[in-house]
Structure 1
């Protein structure tokens, strides 16, 4: 990978690193006695905490978004956004004003343009923080789940998502994914990943989890969660299991509403708790809370994020977890419906949270916590407990000694050829064949040379090679077909359907990507009218595999579990017969006309 034309600041020299960390080293040295052995790590960290002001302690507990590709010189539009939402111009000013202990990267905040820019941004953030008196390194985080949720795109390696890995059933693949993905994040200065998703997706109507979950079997999910945790953390990245106490059985998206989970305590123990227990046994460094109500665990009506019975009573005391607890974004509606934005961070800390993620107004949240200490509602000792956990994590990750990354590390690690080959090999084990009437697949290049690729084309994840229909058509063309792409959208109009049917008349076979098909979806009309042309129709569920129940007449049906490049290329190889389908359903698919009946059970999957 070349480092050309980015216009970013160079990686700090060793002299700069030593100068920036001088204050930190001096603080650590306060606890050392020449006549005695070095004290335990916690004592050194407690000495750091003892030297901090209350304002610095409060800031260390926040993880905040910030716009811009650079810590000190973002684009004017990003400066404007920062001023409007945060009251600062840059990431460096954010750190100076609020002393934040963490920053979260988002694509839409323009933090993740390319690998060298990301690394330079990370170094700029560390330099801004360590250059302050008593400065501490910043824990930089992001949501890099892979599949449909990825903030860092190409040329970084992108893997199949969780449900696709669930279709392999391979803990080795889950561990390998974590190890490689963790190494690439670490090279970029991102040392905390809000992944893996430990939710058990037992509700096909779940609008927010779905394919982000490894599946519906709690023991299978637990094994894959634990393996991925081991992989990430072996590469020096803190994994974060989410969303405790379990978001897998809801029909409400907590970004926009307040879900209620009606599981009994007994069912929670058997279902939702199992992957989190496995993550804790695997040494998980962080657990993220869910903005959901679980009356069987706390009858107060509070979201789990603000629940002392759930976070302290169950997670800390019953499950024995003493690592970092981070909230889901405090800007989500699920945590804002019952209390104001000034109460939420205070109540979260009282419940047992350590890190407060992305409040809608940092000024309101930061001052609310400060006021709660001054008023006696929160004690400084309570802040110190969370601060110690956060500093333990920073210390374990090596941030206290090695906060910076290098351009050489980026070039050597991010998107390495072997990493990309491994992602393709794993993807080849994920594609699941659910229907194959008259042995249509593998598709013959001799009898079906011309292929029309249609599809929903949902918004492409970060760093793809184009719309999913284009990616799939290009992949099939590279495999010897003559394939053309036509986007039909997630809700095709009558005119769009007519155009697609006309185009199908000139093709030997049709491949159509479906995305969350419902009983009333016009995608059903599209597929059925394509089938009526007499052309062979191969459908691919590019998100939830439940689509197949709505489209029983397709001659072949595949599940790719995502519309990312790596999974669509794997599906193309299955269609062309270059690899055999090996994936098995990690969730059951119920009948569309009778959801009490299972159409395809967990473990179902054809081959040829």
Structure 2
């Protein structure tokens, strides 16, 4: 991946935000602060937003999702499962990288060609507030039948893909050190308001890993701490804060990436916790996120032999994604893979097979395949042959459409406003909140 990216500024993609990347992604250093003024409550100047999704859909909501699903071709359904990174700063940016990777020159043409369900933004897509607003609005116009999930990794701290524009809030470890869940919720709400203002509707945050290994090369300060109960409280509060802002939240990296000393971008970590240790250490934050109504849970490219002895990473493990996350923990939302361009998930299988196996394991959203055409066509062929049954495909698409409905984008995405966004991003209220959290950290 490192050698094949090519586009200026997007070498960062090889270090996906999802399970790592740190400062190499153009993110700010830790210890960021805002102003020192006494903060009022965070502003709510972003577009009006639905609150956290209800625990269950009403019959009318379910009917609308089913009607949308019934009008989709198998190609459109398969496209809904994918969230690649696209190249350029506008929907009509002509890029040789897009042509080489997707067979279409512009983000808009890639979206239309593959009926994409979503797109993830990286720092090279971000130049200015007005530019990002134009980009997200343009990409949504390219997907008129079903609006896009537009995601990014804005964890704050080390992994902050939108740091060029947004308030620099302290990262999770600093927030966790305050021992105040109210601060976790407030920062998530403010972060969500800023993302929503520029047209982003999904954040791959919060990190729900319990960082008990001081040699962990990818989590570290991205976690709220090393105490399962404290991390669980902070994660629950963050999920609610994103919901307050109308942003879909993602708890990551299931079943828990906190006790690793191998980087899953370049290798395949093995966690040797017993089932009892997993229940005690790793599970509580994910249980808390689910109880708080989290929209999505991201898998980890880690082997967890006591949860699945096959040797496959959790991303490709039906016992972990379906048996544990779905059936034992009762999660009904979207399961996202971590980035499929990472070596941790590509050790055993080719790129097309990785994507198919992830769906069969229980994943709904396939993030950043290394070879997108191979992944897309492999899933499409598996769906047409019956290897991925119609029922299995419809389950994933239904979950994705339900998430979009819960966030108000099933049929028409809100149009972002550069003028409104300028009032929300780095507002005095948000900078003051960042300063207050920094002062409270110990």
Please give the range of the TM-score, normalised by the shorter of the 2 chains: 0.7 to 0.9
Aligned residues, how many?
384
Pick aligned residue for 2:319 from 287, 290, 309: 309
Residue 62, structure 1, aligned to residue 72, structure 2: no
Using the size of structure 1 for normalisation, the TM-score is 0.62
Q: Give distance in 2, aligned partners of 1:83 and 1:228.
A: 38
Structure 1 residue 285 corresponds to structure 2 residue 295: yes
User: How many Å separate the matches in 1 of 2:168 and 2:102?
Assistant: 31
Q: CA deviation at 1:317?
A: 0.5
Shift of 1:119: 1.0
Structure showing the higher strand proportion among its residues: 1
- Corresponding position of 2:419: 408
Task: Determine whether 1:179 maps to 2:186.
Answer: no
Q: Per-residue CA shift, 1:204-255, capped at 9, x if unaligned?
A: 0000100001111000000001001110111010110000000000100000
**Closer, same or farther: CA 118–317 of 1 in aligned 2, 3 Å:** same
Distance in 1 separating the partners of 2:59 and 2:280:
42
Match of 1:49 in 2: 69
Q: Which whole-Å CA distance do the structure 2 matches of 1:155 and 1:380 have between them? A: 42
Task: Tell me the CA shift for residue 139 of structure 1.
Answer: 0.5
Q: Is the 8 A contact 2:206 2:252 kept in 1?
A: yes
* Superposition deviation, residue 40 in structure 1: 1.6
| Equivalent residues in 2 for 1:360-439, closer than 5 Å | 360-399=370-409, 400-430=411-441
How big is each residue's C-alpha offset from its partner over 1:119-166, in whole Å with a ceiling of 9 and x where there is no partner? Answer: 110000001111xxxx11000000000001001124421100011111
- For 1:502-545, what per-residue CA distance to the aligned partner results, in whole angstroms no more than 9, with x for missing partners? xxxxxxxxxxxxxxxxxxxxxxxxxxxxxxxxxxxxxxxxxxxx
Say which SS state the counterpart of residue 343 (structure 1) adopts: helix
| Match of residue 92 from structure 1 | 108
What CA distance in whole angstroms lies between the structure 2 residues aligned with 1:117 and 1:153? 14
1:39 Cα offset (Å): 5.5
Q: Helix, strand or coil for the counterpart of 2:419?
A: helix
Flag as ranges the 4+ runs of structure 1 deviating above 3 A: none
Matches within 5 A, 1:493-508: none
Residue 122 (structure 2) pairs with residue 112 (structure 1): no
Which of these residues, 149, 164, 167, is aligned with residue 157 of structure 1?
Answer: 167
Quote how far apart the aligned CAs of 1:406 are: 1.4
1:46 positional shift: 0.9
CA contact (8 A) 2:167 2:426 kept: yes
Q: Deviations over 1:187-211 (max 9, x none)?
A: 1111100000000000000001000
Using structure 2 for the length normalisation, give the TM-score: 0.85
Distance 2:313 2:254 in 1: 11
Q: 1:54 to 1:155 in 2, by over 3 A?
A: closer
CA distance in 1: counterparts of 2:424 and 2:394, whole angstroms: 37
Is the 1:188–1:405 contact (alpha carbons within 8 Å) kept by the matching residues of 2? yes
In 2, the alpha carbon distance for the partners of 1:233 and 1:67 equals 29
Where relative contact order (Cα < 8 A, 6+ residues apart) is larger, the structure is 2
1:73 pairs with 2:83: no
Which residue of 270, 275, 286 maps to 1:276? Answer: 286
Q: Is the 8 A contact 1:115 1:156 kept in 2?
A: no
Mapped partners of 2:164, 2:388: distance in 1: 44
| Pair 1:125 & 2:177 matched | no
1:242 aligned counterpart, secondary structure: strand
Shift in alpha-carbon separation, 1:296–1:121, aligned structure 2, 3 A = same
Between the aligned partners of 2:100 and 2:232, the Cα distance in structure 1 is 42
- Of 367, 392, 401 in structure 2, the residue corresponding to residue 357 of structure 1 is 367
Q: CA deviation at 1:374?
A: 2.1
Deviation at 1:60, TM superposition (A): 0.6
Partner residue, 1:231? 241
TM-align CA RMSD: 1.1
User: Among 139, 150, 153, which residue is 1:143 paired with?
Assistant: 153
**Structure 1: stretches of 5+ with no match in the other structure:** 1-37, 431-582, 584-608
8 Å CA contact 1:137–1:403 kept in 2: the answer is no
> Cα deviations across residues 291-329 of structure 1 (Å, max 9, x unaligned)?
000000001111100110001101000000000000000
CA separation in 2, counterparts of 1:285 and 1:155?
25
Structure 1 residues 5-16: aligned runs within 5 Å: none
- Secondary structure of 2:237's counterpart equals helix
Identify the range of structure 1 (177-186 vs 44-53) with the bigger mean alpha-carbon deviation: 44-53
How far did 1:370 drift? 0.9
8 Å contact kept, 2:118–2:148? yes
2:348 paired residue number:
338
Check whether the contact 1:261–1:295 (CA below 8 A) recurs between aligned residues: yes
Alignment of 1:511-550 (within 5 A): none
Stretches of structure 2 lacking an aligned partner (at least 5 in a row):
1-57
